[in-house]
Amino acid sequence: MQKDHNRILSANDILNFPIELLPAMVLSDNLYSFFSFLIKLHEKGQYNHFMVMLNPGVFLSQDLVLHEVLANGYLQGKHRLKIVVNTKWNQAQRSQMIYNGKLLISIPLWRRLYDWPQLIGFLLGARWLNIPGRYICSDIYRRVIAEKETGTLPECPSPPELDRYFMETEGFSVYGRFNVQ
């Protein structure tokens, strides 16, 4: 699949996403959130939230609690989405990643809570500041997709750092973008 940075996705395209390309990485930008604006400003990027699409139209998202969320909530005119896929993964790898994601949402609720100190650590430039066993949205990438990946990705990447990583790493390509109409 060649990169098509200009493919515009409809809500229907996301709700009926090709199963053979899952899991897909989803970068989100809430256009009406001051908090979103601050993250993008601090991290020098275009997106403030990261999720993984495990099923068509269903995202694994670390909000206050790690949970599955229907894509419909992101398709109502407040969010821009960028969907990234990796065409080098084989079916066994894809199945393992989806299994990893499903396993995460089965752990107890108290272990799926958001890591507020880590967010403060980002703002202060102290990435080590966190509660062990708690995570922010972009940590989902390492927990589901790349448990053993090292490379150029920081230990606790921000959504803009993931975006840059996907664009610089072989195998990843932009499937398309959903923009506010």
Token digits for 175?
Answer: 């499937």
C-alpha distances out from residue 113 to 7, 62, 72, 134, 166, Å: 35, 8, 23, 6, 26
More confident residue, 167 or 127: 167
C-beta atoms surrounding 78 within 10 Å: 15
Q: Compute the average pLDDT of residues 6-20.
A: 94
Give CA 58 to chain center in angstroms: 12
Pick the closest to residue 113 from 139, 82, 86 (CA basis): 139
Mean pLDDT on 31-60: 72
For 142-178, write each residue's pLDDT tens digit. Answer: 666 765 555 666 667 788 888 888 888 888 999 999 9
Residue 118 has pLDDT above 80, yes or no: no
Band of residue 95 on the pLDDT scale cut at 50, 70, 90: very high
Q: What is the mean pLDDT of residues 86-115?
A: 83
List the chain domain ranges: 11-178
Report the chain's mean pLDDT, rounded to a whole number: 78
The pLDDT value given to residue 47: 78
CATH of segment(s) 11-178? 3.90.1720.10
Work out the end-to-end distance of the chain between its first and last CA atoms, rounded to an integer number of angstroms.
26
Contact between 48 and 63 (Cβ < 8 Å): no
Long-range contacts of 142-148 (CB under 8 A, 24+ apart): 143/100, 143/104, 144/23, 144/52, 144/60, 144/97, 144/100, 144/101, 144/104, 145/23, 145/25, 145/52, 145/97, 145/100, 147/100
Its pTM stands at: 0.81
pLDDT at 8: 92
CA 114 to chain centre: 15
Backbone angles phi, psi at 119, to 5 degrees: -65, -40
